[in-house]
Amino acid sequence: MKPWLLITTLLFLCLVWGLLAGAPLPADDWRDPDGILWSIRAPRLALGLLCGGALALSGMTLQSSLRNELASPFTLGLSAGAAFFTSLGLIAGAAAATLPLLAFCGALFAGLLALGAAGRRGSCLRLVLAGAACSFLFGAGIALVQAVAGPDKAGRLALMMIGRLDCLSWQAPAILGLLLAICTSLLWQRRKHLDQLLCGEELAGSRGVDVGRERRFCLVLAALLAGTATALCGPIGFVCIAGPHLARHFAPPVHQRQIPAAILGGALFLSLCDTLGRSLSPHCEIPAGAISALAGCPFFLLLLRRSRE
């Protein structure tokens, strides 16, 4: 079976499973099945697909611009920075519409901090260590915010930090879908520049690519995608690593194919994690962030070992 046909088939099966999975519907709800499927399960499934695609595209952008297969919003601390700034906004009583903007600022600040600590030509391991330090720093900040917050706000923060796809309307999927479409269009216009960056800084510069400007653009775009996804769904790790590596496995190493493949791979991975979390137990729901961590952590350790070798 061809790779694209396989991914499309799996995505279709995931859509069907995601709509039907979860706790059994009460008898009264079967009188209007379209209402509960359209109002509850379909928005959640759409949010999982769009969030997975946004995180995967963010990870692919960082990996291509930095030529580092371990670079991602999760390993560089962008997700932690976005979560910290979002928690500050929640405690301060900021409007819901401003939370994605705060998360973007936090993700961008964390990315600049990690890249500055690792150095311009930092190794894969050094970059991961710098990102881990930033994640610990912002994690401590989140703990302090929870400690000084009231019981209601602290409980809300705790639910957000585990990475859930709770969605009861189409507002969040619409916002994330529009942002993903815009960022994909912008990145698509620079796909040839990203192809040149994979060949090295000197070669890309000799071919007319402004390496510094392209990397700054990629960092801002990755922070925007990761920050918005974190503000809407909480920090969900390893999707930004799994999606791009699935794309490399199934698609040629050119961004004309890598961009759509990464989006599809991330969407498939996160939606599967969320559907599994709703299907494993009829009495409780396992957050998508926990499932993605269980599935992605061994994969990340294998990548880290291979990079050291």
Residues in the chain: 309
pLDDT digits (tens, 9 = 90+) for 113-130: 988 887 766 566 777 788
Distance (Å, rounded) from C-alpha 8 to C-alpha 182?
23
33-37, 75-79, 120-124 — most confident range: 75-79
Alpha helices per DSSP H over 165-254: 171-189, 191-197, 201-206, 211-233, 239-250
Q: What domains lie within the chain, and their CATH numbers?
A: 37-308 (1.10.3470.10)
φ/ψ of residue 112, rounded to 5:
-65, -40
pLDDT digits (tens, 9 = 90+) for 78-107: 999 999 999 998 888 888 888 899 999 999
Q: What is the pLDDT of residue 116?
A: 83
**Is residue 18 scored above 70 in pLDDT?**
no
Distance (Å, rounded) from C-alpha 263 to C-alpha 251?
12
Kindly report which listed range (27-31, 94-98, 251-255, 257-261) carries the lowest average pLDDT score. Answer: 27-31
- 200 Rama class: left (phi>0) / alpha (psi -120 to 50) / beta: left
Given the structure tokens 């879908």, which residue do they identify?
177
pLDDT digits (tens, 9 = 90+) for 267-303: 888 988 888 888 877 777 788 888 888 887 777 777 6
